[in-house]
Structure 1
Amino acid sequence: MKKSRRLQILVDLAQRKEDVVAQQLARDKAKVQQDIQKLEELKEYAQQYESERNLLGLSPYLTTNYQHFVDRVQQAIAQQEAAIERAEQQADMSMRRWLQARSKTQSMDVLKDKNLKAEQAFQDRQEQRETDEFAMRRFLDMSR
């Protein structure tokens, strides 16, 4: 088996690994977007309740309960912001892994192409020698 063919097998394996890492990156980026969407929904929810509280004119007891509820929503917002940060860190790590995998695949592909060109050049030189040898024999046979 030619070296370029062996290298092609390695390139294919590296490409498969790169594809797996790319799929993970896509999932991580989607998770970040989902977490951001949840945060925006929580913020809208908190803002809606805060504005309703001002309009309702609640009793002191209900105002306290209402405020506890709003505080819990604010805690959920803080937790969601932390979740977004973790998801973004995970997506960044996936991006770095994908870039490394992509770099490896490209490097192996370049090496395979280089070997393929070298093999083709060798084959071309060999064919040229055979053609020259055939022409020389024919010339010598005609000379006799």
Structure 2
Amino acid sequence: MKKSKRMQLLVDLAKRKEDAVATQLARDKAKVADDQRKLEELKEYAGQYESERNLLGLSAYLTTNYQHFTNRVQQAVQQQEAAVGRAQQQADMTQRRWLQARSKTQSMDYLRDKNIKIENLLEDKQEQKQSDEFAMRRFISQ
């Protein structure tokens, strides 16, 4: 088996790994976007309740309950912000893995192409040698 054919197997393996990491990266980025959307919804929800509290003129008891509720919503916002941060870190890590996998695939492609060129040159030289020998035999036999 030619070296370029063996290299093609390695290129195919590297490409599959790169594709798998790219798929994971897409999932990670989708998770970041989803977590970010949830965060924005929570912030909007918290903002609505805060503005309503100012408009309602609640009794002291209801104000305390309302404050506890808004505190819990703020805690949920903080937790979601942390979730967004973790999801972004994961996506960044996967991005780095994808770049490494892509670089490896490109290196393998380069080596395979280099081997193909070398093999083609050797084949061309072999064909030229055979052609020269054939021409020499014809010349000698005349």
Q: Shorter-chain-normalised TM-score: which range? A: over 0.9
Q: Deviations over 1:88-116 (max 9, x none)?
A: 11001101110111111111111111011
Per-residue deviation at 1:54?
1.1
Verify: 1:35 aligned to 2:35, yes or no.
yes
SS in 1 for 2:38: helix
- 1:90 and 1:76 map into 2 onto residues whose CA distance is 21
* TM-score (normalizing by structure 1): 0.97
Structure 2 equivalent of residue 118 of structure 1: 118
% of aligned pairs identical?
75
- 1:51 and 1:71 map into 2 onto residues whose CA distance is 14
Aligned alpha-carbon RMSD (Å): 0.7
SS in 2 for 1:58: coil
- 2:34 and 2:88 map into 1 onto residues whose CA distance is 11
- 1:127 and 1:70 map into 2 onto residues whose CA distance is 83
Structure 2 equivalent of residue 105 of structure 1: 105
Residue type of the alignment partner of 2:49? Y
User: 1:2-17 to 2 correspondence within 5 Å?
Assistant: 2-17=2-17
Unaligned runs of 5+ in 2: none
Structure 2 equivalent of residue 62 of structure 1: 62
Q: Deviations over 1:96-139 (max 9, x none)?
A: 11011111111111111101110010000000011111111112
* TM-score (normalizing by structure 2): 0.98
Q: How many residues align?
A: 142
Verify: 1:18 aligned to 2:10, yes or no.
no
Structure 1 equivalent of residue 82 of structure 2: 82
Unaligned runs of 5+ in 1: none
Q: Deviations over 1:3-49 (max 9, x none)?
A: 10001001001100110011001100110000110000000000101
